[in-house]
Structure 1
Amino acid sequence: MSLYKRKDSPHWWIKLHVNGRRLQESTGTADRKRAQELHDKLKAELWEQSRLGVKPGYSWQQAVLRWLDDTEEKASRRDDINRLRWLHVHLEGVMLSEVDRYKLDAVISAKKGEGASNATINRHLAIVRSILRKAVHEWGWLDSMPKVRMLPEPKQRIRFLTKDEAERLLAELPAHLADMVRFSLETGLRQANVTGLLWNQLDLVRKVAWIHPDQAKARKAIAVPLSDVAVEIIRRQLGKHHTHVFSYRGQSVSRVNNHAWTKALGRAGIENFRWHDLRHTWASWHVQRGTPLHVLQELGGWESVEMVKRYAHLSGEHLAQYVTSMTGCPRRVVTNRLRSETKKG
């Protein structure tokens, strides 16, 4: 039977054999009539490809499955899958060659109708663009692709804490979270790298920790030099857990954006601040202290210096040599002139 149901799926499935070519896949719909239409369309295309030499056509679903195989190591895989599930509702049954400007506009409109921001919509469009690019340049499934234009995103300021705000927050947090926050401010590590930090990732004698490639967002190992404060924080955790550095009541910590965190922010009078902003705070403090951007890039494990340039405006020291007096008057001359005018007055 070429159209059938499986126990593990609510959708109708297709199984076709045309002149030696075999196709078996889900139709993506539980509607029998719609599934039959897709079946007939695919059968006709297979016949054309086999008998008339027409180039094979591929569905959006086939492209998604191959793209997932090709990007299996992506750090953002879970987010990608969630976005693809949303896109599936709007692109199911669509041939890859039919994903054009009109289809993309429909996707944008649907997402806007849910109240999504331009940034959220762009994350979905970026996946569509990535799939289409692979289909053209790597798989040979398409001869060309539509231009996927991203929506404008407002430039948002980087949220970071002042030293006073940081101390207020630390004073309001329970001890285990305060240690994790201060450690984050000392190292700039991402949330998952702090909660998942293991004892075998540390060398307290050399004062260094390391993040393995499979734990890093850029999939590159990161060496993390530890300050005296960071080492002191780690030493306070000795004996609390056998594998994880940070724990609470004998259990490793998996969630930090919890009730205690939210309440502490409120008591400290800090608004619009996420845990990830601790990393922004660490980077901002470094730049304000004069750390060169290429050094900050290496310390933070960023893939490119472009990702670090967003902090560049926080320090103008590298420009100081170019902003001497524009009038040609040395500072001493200006000062003497002011003194002279004061005496005359």
Structure 2
Amino acid sequence: MFEAYGGVAHVTVPDCLKQGVTKCHIYDPDLNPAYAQLASHYSTAIVPARPGRPKDKGLAENAVNLVMRYVRFRYRRRRFTSLAEINHALADCIDRINDRKHSRFRISRRERFEQCERGALKPLPADPFEVAEWKDATLLADCYVQVESVYYSAPHIHRHKRLRVKLTETQVEIFLQLERLAIHPRSRHRDGRRISNPEHFPANSQAYYEATPQKLLSQARFVHPDLHQLLVELFNADVYGHLRRAQGLVRSSAKELDAAGRELASARIVGAIATMRRYNKVRVPYFQALLAQARKAPITSNADREIVRRAGNPMLRYAGGAAVSAGHGVNITSPQEK
């Protein structure tokens, strides 16, 4: 609206809508935080009209009625097929109404605006206002706040404090009262990823995050090359977000090596990693469940054994002449063998 006028009014009188006014009052109304931010950006005072008080309303109420009646009459026989056509029709009607001379003032609305009102407007700010959403979040012990399933870092000295998070289309800002603590690019991937700034962590934490991935890669290389390659891919995607996951994978693989030996454990680890890749589900509990399932499977496979059904009785099967009863496990010899 302000951009359409080419300036900002000193006082803005909106209707008492919940998106802008939380609680209406003649002297001290409670404004929505985002609406108050808009007023601060454009340096205008918000004086909402009270419900049921016609004198608080502006001339805009009658103007809306005038435009709607004119549009309905002018396009009463036309059928619109798109939103762009409706907007074009509204713009045409507004231009006609503004250019038509007023019956009482003998001057058009556009001329009156240019002569009397445009000079009273304040200039527009350099940057347009960007609509923001505000949320409350607590800075966790690992120096992250969780917003929409994404973790953003903030300075560690404010851990366990309640912070305000401002979400715009492109970035995320973290505030402590009126002080901005951090700013990050906004992520639309709600997959638990971590967006961090190394300066937000204490010195010992930075050293831990720098040394631990290399140690885990070294341990994974000792376990199996497939595990090492999986950790390399995880760390290339997000070191901080996958660090605990990599620790769990290495620890579970090391326990399997100690319990089953290198040869048998390597086969189980390779199979579990292949299954995780197949279903795109790299999770430590899933990896442990796959290893446990592999432990229950028989060591030797009977896939190469040929099962022959005895003619006349499909419940009996034999290999090489000796038939075995499927129900009771009794060996039966054929008459020829007798």
TM-score, normalization by structure 2: 0.21
Higher strand share: 2
Which structure has the larger Rg? 2
Higher helix share: 1
TM-score, normalization by structure 1: 0.21
